[in-house]
């Protein structure tokens, strides 16, 4: 009989942006602080219980290299008996980590694991330090910039610059409201900057400067509609999700917050990568026997406003269910962290809304979509 995989807890760091105060912390130290918090918050969990840590990272090199997951486990003082691996599925890396841990638990290979993600986009550039492009793939535009893929969707979906700006402004307003109402309080772990300061708040959400937003030049194409204001900002952040079998949780007095009901991955045209959540969502709904009417709340990673609007409109999703506490345009999109980040936020929103079923989904560069369905316990 297949075991049930459950989320005991999910936490994240604040997300830092350009010129912010989180820049300077090592990504492995950042991830280790977030992982450590899981033990502090769940005293019935012993470090020796952790069998594996799978860490998502989109560019695992430089300070994010050297099989960072095992290093993070050591920094978090988890015994050497714990394994560690790094998964790279670009933006979907840490959601993939959640999928891997939960699948292993359901198959009986593990009882307890941590799925985490981290990205410092300031110390490792997009594309890494030494990109080397295959000529045949380059000819097929496989290496197209993410912004250009979003411009394609904006054109195909007749999504105007004004619509994108309105969506982005709303993302910031929702995130600011969530902070005012303490809706991030249970998911954020304050980060110790080597004894010099404590960072406990996302640096991205701000009161929108409408005049400035309207004055920005297109960021990717000369006559394009996408600007810096309607794109997720370059960021740094970490998140971690503690997953166990239901049996282990009940035996060890751990409170179950959510059940992982379904997982999916789907491929799409890499030049339209932003539409990835549509087939991924369709797939996970079919697997679980659910429809969009059964989904109470949605966390959709906002890579770009155009891409998010394309998905919402073509999926005929209820906008009021999407990113209730704001999204990545306001909060930030630290690539390898974002999957675990939106799952963490989804767990909290399910509790805040007293909702039953939630969907977390995101697009992935290279033309993919990934999705997870959670049910509040």
d(CA 62, CA 40): 30
Residue 264 DSSP SS3: strand
d(CA 118, CA 336): 5
Closest-CA residue to 52 (of 66, 32, 69) = 69
Catalytic annotation, pick one of 99, 183, 333, 337? 333
Place of tokens 């090199």: 61
Structure tokens at 293: 């009417």
Strand partners, 374: 260, 358
Catalytic annotation, pick one of 57, 82, 91, 337? 91
333 is known as an active-site residue: yes
d(CA 263, CA 95): 9
**Chain CA centroid to CA 347, Å:** 13
Residues 6+ apart with CB under 8 A from 237: 12, 13, 14, 15, 16, 22, 30, 118, 119, 332, 334, 337, 338, 341
SS percent in the chain: helix, strand, coil, step 5: 40, 20, 40
Phi, psi of 116 (to 5 degrees): -135, 175
Helix H or strand E encompassing 32: helix 27-41
Residue 312 DSSP SS3: helix
State the helix-helix crossing angle for 146-156 and 305-314, rounded to 10 degrees: 40
Taking the CB of residue 126, how many other CB atoms lie within 10 A of it?
13
Strand partners, 55: 86, 116
Residues 6+ apart with CB under 8 A from 228: 216, 219
363 is known as an active-site residue: yes
Residue positions annotated with a catalytic role? 91, 333, 363
């Amino acid at each position: 009989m297949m075991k049930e995989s459950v989320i005991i807890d999910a936490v994240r760091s604040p997300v830092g942006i350009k010129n912010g105060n989180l820049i300077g912390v090592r990504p492995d130290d950042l991830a280790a602080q977030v992982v450590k918090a899981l033990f502090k918050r769940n005293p019935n969990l012993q470090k020796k219980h952790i069998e594996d840590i799978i860490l998502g990272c989109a560019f695992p090199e430089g300070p994010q290299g050297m099989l960072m997951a095992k290093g993070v486990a050591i920094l978090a003082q988890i015994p050497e008996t714990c394994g560690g691996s790094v998964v790279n599925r670009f933006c979907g890396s840490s959601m993939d980590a959640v999928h891997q841990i939960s699948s292993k638990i359901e198959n009986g290979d593990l009882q307890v694991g941590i799925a985490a993600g981290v990205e410092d986009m300031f110390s490792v550039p997009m594309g890494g330090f030494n990109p080397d492009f295959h000529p045949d793939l380059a000819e097929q535009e496989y290496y197209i910039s993410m912004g250009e893929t979003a411009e394609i969707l904006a054109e195909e979906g007749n999504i105007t610059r004004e619509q994108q700006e309105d969506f982005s402004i709303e993302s910031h307003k929702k995130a600011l409201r969530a902070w005012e109402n303490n809706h991030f309080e249970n998911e954020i772990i304050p980060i110790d900057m080597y004894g010099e300061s404590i960072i406990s708040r996302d640096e991205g959400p701000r009161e929108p400067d409408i005049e400035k937003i309207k004055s920005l030049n297109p960021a990717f194409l000369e006559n394009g509609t996408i600007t810096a204001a309607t794109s997720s900002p370059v960021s740094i952040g970490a998140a971690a999700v503690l997953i166990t079998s239901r049996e282990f949780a009940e035996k060890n007095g751990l409170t179950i917050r959510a059940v992982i009901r379904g997982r999916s991955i789907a491929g799409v045209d890499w030049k339209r990568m932003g539409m990835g959540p549509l087939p991924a969502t369709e797939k996970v709904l079919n697997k679980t026997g659910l429809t969009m009417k059964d989904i109470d709340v949605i966390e959709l990673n906002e890579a770009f406003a155009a891409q998010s609007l394309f998905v919402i409109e073509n999926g005929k999703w209820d906008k009021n269910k999407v990113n209730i506490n704001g999204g990545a345009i306001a909060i930030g999109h630290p690539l390898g962290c974002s999957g675990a980040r939106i799952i963490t936020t989804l767990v909290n929103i399910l509790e805040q809304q007293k909702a039953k079923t939630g969907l977390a989904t995101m697009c992935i560069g290279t033309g993919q979509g990934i999705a997870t369905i959670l049910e509040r316990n």
